């Protein structure tokens, strides 16, 4: 998967990608959640600290955190010692949760969204195959948790 974070020194970032690409919000949300999950003190972590540690924009992280908070994935603490913490265990937060917190329900074609009909539905030969692909993507996202990003797993050793 191509990351769309800011270009870092010596790192080539693709400017054009295929249609299946994580948005900048999803990418940054995952970075934020990994920072929170790795926070061994379990004390609230400020977005300024995350921004300094990752090179992400503090102002953009505020938008990302708001989406994750609305989805119930993180909690915000106020005051002098305020900041953010995970509201669930890393094993309970899936990639599907993270993506949907920022992008809403996932489907690769509008006709696959529940309740949507297509004028070519009766003669469409590709919808069953596209539905299979969509279901497989959703299952994979639902089976991949935040825990997988902070602990070595078999899929990490097989990626290119």
Give the CATH number for residue 92: 1.10.10.10
| Furthest CA-CA distance within the chain | 62
DSSP conformational letter for 45: B
Query: Is 121 a member of any domain?
Result: yes
This prediction's pTM = 0.79
What residue numbers bound the domain in which 111 lies?
A: 24-158
Query: Is 1 a member of any domain?
Result: no
Q: Is 74 in contact with 65 (CB distance < 8 Å)?
A: yes
Q: What is the pLDDT of residue 6?
A: 40
- In the chain, the percentage of residues whose pLDDT exceeds 90 is 52
Query: Is 76 a member of any domain?
Result: yes
Query: Is 30 a member of any domain?
Result: yes
Q: CA of 107: how far to CAs of 1, 22, 47, 123, 133, in Å? A: 18, 13, 31, 21, 10
Q: Is 65 in contact with 32 (CB distance < 8 Å)?
A: yes
What sign has the CA pseudo-torsion 61, 62, 63, 64?
positive
Query: Is 152 a member of any domain?
Result: yes
Rounded to the nearest 10 degrees, the angle between the axes of helix 24-37 and helix 95-103 is: 130
pLDDT at 147 over 90: yes
Domain count, the chain: 1
């Amino acid at each position: 998967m191509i990351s769309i974070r800011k270009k870092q020194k010596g790192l080539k970032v693709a400017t054009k990608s295929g249609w299946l690409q994580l948005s900048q919000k999803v990418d940054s949300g995952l970075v934020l959640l990994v920072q929170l999950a790795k926070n061994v003190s379990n004390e609230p972590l400020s977005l300024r600290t995350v921004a300094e540690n990752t090179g992400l924009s503090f102002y953009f992280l505020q938008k990302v955190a708001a989406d994750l908070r609305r989805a119930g994935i993180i909690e915000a603490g106020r005051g002098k010692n305020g900041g953010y913490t995970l509201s669930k265990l890393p094993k309970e937060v899936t990639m599907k949760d993270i993506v949907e917190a920022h992008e809403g329900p996932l489907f690769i074609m509008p006709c696959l969204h529940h309740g949507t009909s297509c004028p070519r539905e009766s003669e469409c030969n590709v919808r069953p195959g596209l539905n299979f692909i969509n279901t497989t993507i959703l299952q994979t996202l639902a089976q991949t948790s935040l825990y997988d990003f902070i602990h070595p797993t078999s899929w990490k050793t097989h990626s290119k």
